[in-house]
Amino acid sequence: MRHGVTFPLYAEVDAICNLACPASPVHYQHDPVQTTKTSVHGAINMLGLAKRLRCTILQASTSEVYGDPEVHPQREDYWGRVNPIGSRACYDEGKRCAETLFFDYHRQHKLQIKVARIFNTYGPRMHPNDGRAVSNFIMQALNSEPITIYGDGRQTRSFCYVDDMVEALIRLLDSPGNFTGPVNLGNPTEITILELARQIIAMTGYLSELVFCPLPSTIRCSVGPT
């Protein structure tokens, strides 16, 4: 069934997993108003369906609800440090509002909810131009282009393979009814962005340069050895 979650949906189902929302900064910043609508209106419509059917509903939230955190690693009881008016707010605040709606439906209507905060995930068929580190580095290496690293590359990330993430979501959906989350889902092992770039270079076999660009608005870059 092809349907936009910003409109009400009438269907007969046993459970709902709401994963609707572009997750790539390139995609969700393309139409930020629609991104917010997808998170907020989408949550309202899917919660309304779950309320009518009295079924369990899972919300795919995000690690971005923590914003630019001052705590590392982030625990689920950390409230985050988010800019509500920045260019990423359409996604960050939309997901935060969706979490609010889920827990209010749980408290007010006794709805059985599950909230997953998904961290960096990768796998087959990612969009080649989605602006994420894994796909960016792979495409740059395959095209024999310099690999662009913002900052010094020592910042760390964790990357979870999509099959593991799907299994985690299914386990969460099937968890006891009194467990709502939110729960962080991702790979607990962190690597630096520099390590990721070097690993992709080694796996593709292409001799790409590493180009270090600063995060501020300057465009000067320095080329370093691989």
Residues classed as catalytic: 91
Measured distance CA(92)–CA(65) in Å, rounded: 5
What is residue 188's DSSP assignment?
S
Q: How far is CA 38 from the centre of its chain?
A: 14
Buried b / exposed e over 157-186, threshold 16 CB at 10 Å, is bebbeeeebeebbeebeeeeeeebbbebbb
Measured distance CA(13)–CA(142) in Å, rounded: 43
